[in-house]
Structure 1
Amino acid sequence: MSDTRPMPTRRQWLQAAGLTGAAPLLSCVPAVAGTTPTATAATVSGPKVLRYAFKAAETGFDPAKIQDLYSRILTGHLFEGLYAYDHLARPPKIKPLTAAALPEVSPDFRVFVIRVQPGIFFMSDPAFKGQRRELVAEDYVYAIKRFADPANKSPAWGDLEEAGFVGLAAAREEALQKRQPFDYDRIVPGLRALDRHTLRLEVAAARPRLIELLTGSDLFGAVAREVVEFYGPEDIVGHPVGTGPFKLVQWRRSSLITLERNPEYRERHYDAEPAPDDAEGQALLARFKGRRLPMVDRVEVSIIEESQPRWLSFLNGQQNFIERVPEEFATLAMPNGRVAPNLAHQHIQGYRSLAPDIGVTLYNMEDPVVGGYTPEKIALRRAMNLAMDIPREIALVRQGQGVPAQSLVVPNTSGYDPNFRSEMGQYDPARAMALLDIYGYVDRDGDGWREQPDGSPLLIRRASQPDQFYRSLDELWQRNMKAIGIRGVIEPAKWPENLKAAQAGSLMSWFVNSSASQFDGQSGLGQMFGPKIGGDNLARFKSAEFDALYLKMQALPDGPERWALFRQAQRIGIVYAPYKCHVHRYVTDMAAAEVQGYRRPPFWNEWWHFVDIGPAPARA
């Protein structure tokens, strides 16, 4: 499991993932050379509408209460953080969004002073009683405090606790101990508005990459206190009021979400800094530079959980964009990485890349059957992991759209090494059966199924979703478990229900995907960090050794010492096996000819305001 090769450079990570200018994401893009830097919008009759479908339902629009990708895509366009990733820069580059400049940082990386741009306003809302409401530094103080409020049960609290804002955890603990409402007026030394537009953040230990947290418009965008108090804790989930480029105008839960251009959005124009050798990025900049944002009038998001109907809704024109073409159709849509001739004839554009995500089976470490830290429990999890036929999963279920995952660190993030190999990437049912035999998981009654070491039945319950893709995945898993004598049953439910159950610790095991939202690869390892139990740490893994390593990594600048700790942390996850790492997916996005300017973000979700809807070119 050890690997002593040097960590790759940032550019090598991006090249390995196909994200540098030398390997553009776009496989079929209309030529844009020769357009002027201030190209005008194409004439389109009627509103410009971006239409596409999520494959799982949203859970709400309150940043402090969400965790799922789909809700975060929505909130990332409604709220705004202090910073954002440059839309076209590869490698990623952070730039101010509502901040006036990059933060002033103390030499020890503990104090960050940020100036908020004056003259930015929240969208109008009855909570403001007819007054224009300017964005101020205190709005970010309040927004961050909401994650610490025990009443919100925020799944992202672990991220804030990990950041270590001085005094924030103490304020939370006081509310818990005294069983009193969280005191939002209490002065928290690590979160202070020095004046109307100046924010001072202080953390307990060095945090060289804290600015990456502040790029999270989806979670850490500014929230106005009077809006939360106006709608109350129950209704605020459906009343997002931010400073972002879009506003929510329709919500049919788990069915249809409609956002429209925020008519009060400030004067903001398309600009970016693609690398000089990034031909695709330079072409997009030349085409759209100077255009006012957002360029589309409306975004309509449907919920279509089954793969085939979602794909067909794109082909028949109900949707003009499809994110993550289902694996079973991806090779038909883009054979050998190029748009299929029948789709290219319609000027459909294709975008394929290795995503910064991972599919894992999580084991509830508090479950009496699969959880625990004793040798026999570790052996059970490792045996099940070795029995999972990931090569077959990739070849048949995913139609080749993925690579085996070796740890929780994902592609396109720092710390990811495509050459790293571990037990997570091995398929070895013979070794799995030997482990089970050695640790007492044997068939005592002759019925063909193994029992636990104490003789009690061994039954593995796996949560899943009721669609065809997951049925195929589950059938393979059951065959793999049967091959080593383990009885496994599938318990399907809707994805949001499974997420809530996993956060509460009531699932035994579940296959789930997660995606990075920061360039720092340590975010993937956060799925084992103790304070994130109930949030990212869905396995509920607890290890003092791991937590100490994790905190030490946080305080170190990037370099050999930090990368060595990455390896130690990865090995702990491999040995204790709270997760089985399955696959990093190749993702294929497709856009109709009318959708112009799309470029897949490596790991952030805010892009709707950077695309345009124009007249479709004539068929070839």
Structure 2
Amino acid sequence: MKRLVRSAALAVCLLATALSGAAQTASTAPKTLRYAFPIAETGFDPAVISDLYSITVVSGILEAPLEFAFLERPVRLRPNTAAAMPEVSADYRTFTFRIKPGIYFADDPAFKGKKRELVAEDYVYSIKRFYDPRWRAGRLYRLESNKILGLSELRARALKERKPFDYDTPVEGLRALDRYTFQVKLAEPAPRFVYNFAEASLTGAVAREVVEFYGDRVGDHPVGTGPFKLGAWKRSSSIELDRNPGYRTVLYDEQAPEGDARLQAIAREFKGRRLPLVDRVKISIIEEPQPRWLSFLNVEQDVAEQVPAEFANVAFPNNELAPNLAKRGVLMLRYAKADVSYTYFAMENPVVGGYTPDKVALRRAIALAVDVEREIRLVRGGQGIPAQSMVGPEVQGYDPAFKSESSEYDPARANALLDMFGYVDRDGDGWREQPDGSPLVLEYATQPDQLSRKLNELWKKSMDAIGIRIVFKPAKWPEQLKASRAGKLMMWGVAWSAELPDGDTFLALGYGPNKGQSNHPRFDLPAYNALYEKQARLPDGPERREAMDAAKKLLVAYAPYKPTVHRIWTDLAYPWVLGYSRNIFVREFWKYVDLDPEAQARRGS
């Protein structure tokens, strides 16, 4: 009996020692927030990247002049590196920014051991980089569509003369007025142009010395003034962001929405604390849903961002947190994304492209054969709503009352359309041919992950039901993106997320001059282009909404896209993640959350 007592006492002693050791280690180790991306990054040069996950990383490293208040709803712009909100002319054509003195870039060999202050010319240079043909900027349209005076002409001259882009040539539309002031002038009014200056991956400051020092490899060496800097990085495997020791003093000062007791408590508790609150962010790339979900359950991740749809009914049946997770103190956060999932049809492709009635009928028939409700229920675990247009929720221009053919499932009508326009089975093999008798085969680009495979199964059943052959062309995301930009894909199923709280970013997907950038199907309809330009010039109000609705209807009618779902995201966070919240227009949420390292260590860091 005494031996048992001594053994029990020894066990308690060892456990106490272990817990004490874990707590001591946790108190000295860097606070490391761990979570996972489902898709690999492509690089970290803002002028080159266009994918969500690379943009997310860059947003923690670079800084734009403005930012969105993290907790406030509705969203509100506020100064970031700017000393105040910009001066905007009455005609929305001139924007003047003044930058705070005393902000410095993170130390880097490109600066040759000297401290490098952020100045107005850095923003001028960074914006010009998008116009440099050398970088083939996929998001140039975001700036070029606003017609900054002189920049498009400077780019056109470089292309025509086949000479390097001349960064030193002054242009009327973008210039530094003094060391800390820069001004942007537009050819036409752009009431929402200022939103672009809250997107760090678009207007974040990059130092010219860094680009010239690293050259074509600058995407491997991002250097900014933000709260984090790139640490250890294993391409397509893991990304570590370390606290930037030279980051200026920025204190937590957030205003929570009325009626949200949890966020109000966070705002009170964290007020006055220096940002960022964690020392390191470790991002794992886990493409398959099951290992990503198991990684969270095994406490290898602190946050499960967007729980995979396959596990929605396990993690939160009927949208209620599962009892086993609730017992572990897990926080569940559910929110609508400003996004749209869709399939596009390449408008220059000889099979599915074109603007003639027969080609339009083919695309509309294919779209009518897709059962969106089934996709949401069986593939996405109920985490989404049917998309009525290409404009996603949570942005200006989204109308929940707007209804269209986009969400309709009507295979009988699809078959009738195909018959009417001559897409019939001419040789009796059970498959339809084109009106001229040539084969009708759809080639669908896809990714080799579980979600894509399930979506492919639905597409196969849908096309079988209307007698159209479909084959799938799987490849990794970066490969498909490169081929898509070059116009080499017939169809591709992807998603688009808004970076700004305005529907223009969705309508830009159909704007002709954006071909090869956001407009991957290369849709180019003069009537649509005119509506897009009209809504871009108008201030928010009934006239603009009318133009936006008319543009949405043209996209439905000509069907370069088949919008399917607006996703609903559900995040889970363990209880040692303190202050967790999300603002869908703030990528770098990490700087606003803290960790209890002792609790994290005890539960399996």
* TM-score of the superposed pair, with normalisation by structure 2: 0.94
Q: Which moved more, 1:160-169 or 1:60-69?
A: 160-169
1:460-479 to structure 2, matched below 5 A, reads 460-479=442-461
Instruction: Report the equivalent of 2:143.
Output: 160
1:188 partnered with 2:157: no
Of 169, 190, 196, the residue aligned with 2:152 is 169
Provide the C-alpha distance between the structure 2 equivalents of 1:352 and 1:290, rounded to a whole number of angstroms. Answer: 28
Corresponding residue SS for 2:145: helix
1:67 partnered with 2:50: yes
1:115 partnered with 2:98: yes
Corresponding residue SS for 1:52: strand
Q: Which moved more, 1:508-517 or 1:591-600?
A: 591-600
Contact kept? 1:546, 1:572, Cα under 8 Å? yes
Instruction: Report the equivalent of 1:305.
Output: 287
1:404-423 to structure 2, matched below 5 A, reads 404-423=386-405
1:230 partnered with 2:228: no
**Structure with the larger RCO, 1 or 2 (CA within 8 Å, 6+ apart):** 1
Instruction: Report the equivalent of 1:103.
Output: 86
Instruction: Report the equivalent of 1:80.
Output: 63
- Report how many aligned residue pairs link the two structures: 576
Q: What one-letter code is carried by the residue in structure 2 that aligns with 1:221?
A: G
Shift of 1:338: 2.7
Provide the C-alpha distance between the structure 2 equivalents of 1:603 and 1:403, rounded to a whole number of angstroms. Answer: 20
Provide the C-alpha distance between the structure 2 equivalents of 1:278 and 1:139, rounded to a whole number of angstroms. Answer: 39
1:500-519 to structure 2, matched below 5 A, reads 500-519=482-501
Provide the C-alpha distance between the structure 1 equivalents of 2:476 and 2:465, rounded to a whole number of angstroms. Answer: 28
Instruction: Report the equivalent of 2:13.
Output: none
1:442 partnered with 2:420: no
Provide the C-alpha distance between the structure 2 equivalents of 1:332 and 1:601, rounded to a whole number of angstroms. Answer: 25
Identity in percent: 55
Deviations 1:301-326 (A, max 9, x none): 11111000000001001111111100
Q: Which moved more, 1:524-533 or 1:458-467?
A: 524-533
Provide the C-alpha distance between the structure 1 equivalents of 2:269 and 2:467, rounded to a whole number of angstroms. Answer: 60
1:430 partnered with 2:412: yes
1:570-609 to structure 2, matched below 5 A, reads 570-609=552-591
Contact kept? 2:37, 2:283, Cα under 8 Å? yes
1:127 partnered with 2:110: yes
Provide the C-alpha distance between the structure 2 equivalents of 1:331 and 1:190, rounded to a whole number of angstroms. Answer: 53
Shift of 1:282: 1.7
1:231-246 to structure 2, matched below 5 A, reads 231-232=214-215, 234-246=216-228
Corresponding residue SS for 2:95: strand
Contact kept? 1:518, 1:604, Cα under 8 Å? no
Of 132, 142, 149, the residue aligned with 1:149 is 132
Provide the C-alpha distance between the structure 1 equivalents of 2:57 and 2:536, rounded to a whole number of angstroms. Answer: 29
Shift of 1:336: 3.0
Provide the C-alpha distance between the structure 2 equivalents of 1:458 and 1:44, rounded to a whole number of angstroms. Answer: 64
Shift of 1:331: 2.6
Shift of 1:226: 0.8
Instruction: Report the equivalent of 1:39.
Output: none
Instruction: Report the equivalent of 1:5.
Output: none
Shift of 1:281: 2.9
Of 396, 399, 403, the residue aligned with 2:381 is 399
Instruction: Report the equivalent of 1:9.
Output: none
Contact kept? 2:443, 2:472, Cα under 8 Å? yes
Contact kept? 2:362, 2:417, Cα under 8 Å? yes
Of 478, 482, 493, the residue aligned with 2:464 is 482
Provide the C-alpha distance between the structure 2 equivalents of 1:279 and 1:155, rounded to a whole number of angstroms. Answer: 42
Q: Which moved more, 1:62-71 or 1:163-172?
A: 163-172
Shift of 1:45: 4.3
Deviations 1:492-538 (A, max 9, x none): 11111111111111111010011111111121111101122112111
1:21-100 to structure 2, matched below 5 A, reads 44-100=27-83
Contact kept? 1:104, 1:113, Cα under 8 Å? yes
Q: Which has the larger radius of gyration?
A: 2
Instruction: Report the equivalent of 1:363.
Output: 345
Q: What one-letter code is carried by the residue in structure 2 that aligns with 1:397?
A: V
Q: What one-letter code is carried by the residue in structure 2 that aligns with 1:412?
A: E
1:283 partnered with 2:265: yes
Corresponding residue SS for 1:98: coil
1 or 2, which has the higher helix percentage? 2
Corresponding residue SS for 2:130: helix
Instruction: Report the equivalent of 1:543.
Output: 525
Contact kept? 1:402, 1:585, Cα under 8 Å? yes
Deviations 1:201-239 (A, max 9, x none): 10111111111111001222001001100111x211100
Corresponding residue SS for 1:583: strand
Corresponding residue SS for 2:229: strand
Contact kept? 1:161, 1:531, Cα under 8 Å? no
1:288-367 to structure 2, matched below 5 A, reads 288-367=270-349
Corresponding residue SS for 1:616: helix
Instruction: Report the equivalent of 1:16.
Output: none
Shift of 1:84: 0.5
Deviations 1:397-444 (A, max 9, x none): 112111100101101111111121100010000100111111110000
Instruction: Report the equivalent of 1:179.
Output: 162
Corresponding residue SS for 1:302: strand
Corresponding residue SS for 2:479: helix
Contact kept? 1:84, 1:94, Cα under 8 Å? yes
Provide the C-alpha distance between the structure 1 equivalents of 2:512 and 2:473, rounded to a whole number of angstroms. Answer: 27
Shift of 1:251: 1.4
Deviations 1:158-177 (A, max 9, x none): 11111211111000100011
Corresponding residue SS for 1:63: coil
Corresponding residue SS for 2:258: coil
Instruction: Report the equivalent of 1:21.
Output: none
Provide the C-alpha distance between the structure 2 equivalents of 1:403 and 1:528, rounded to a whole number of angstroms. Answer: 22
Instruction: Report the equivalent of 2:121.
Output: 138
Shift of 1:606: 2.0
1:522 partnered with 2:524: no
Instruction: Report the equivalent of 2:10.
Output: none
Provide the C-alpha distance between the structure 2 equivalents of 1:327 and 1:70, rounded to a whole number of angstroms. Answer: 19
Shift of 1:602: 2.5
Shift of 1:616: 3.0
Of 475, 478, 485, the residue aligned with 1:496 is 478
Corresponding residue SS for 1:501: helix
Contact kept? 1:597, 1:611, Cα under 8 Å? yes
Instruction: Report the equivalent of 2:6.
Output: none
Contact kept? 1:158, 1:533, Cα under 8 Å? no
Provide the C-alpha distance between the structure 1 equivalents of 2:414 and 2:332, rounded to a whole number of angstroms. Answer: 41
Deviations 1:528-570 (A, max 9, x none): 0112211211111111111111111111110000000011000
Provide the C-alpha distance between the structure 1 equivalents of 2:569 and 2:109, rounded to a whole number of angstroms. Answer: 41
Corresponding residue SS for 1:163: coil
Contact kept? 1:75, 1:219, Cα under 8 Å? no
Contact kept? 2:85, 2:97, Cα under 8 Å? yes
Residue ranges of structure 2 left out of the alignment (5+ in a row): 1-25
Corresponding residue SS for 1:270: coil
Deviations 1:169-212 (A, max 9, x none): 00010001111110000111111100000011101111111111
Q: What one-letter code is carried by the residue in structure 1 that aligns with 2:569?
A: V
Contact kept? 2:196, 2:202, Cα under 8 Å? no
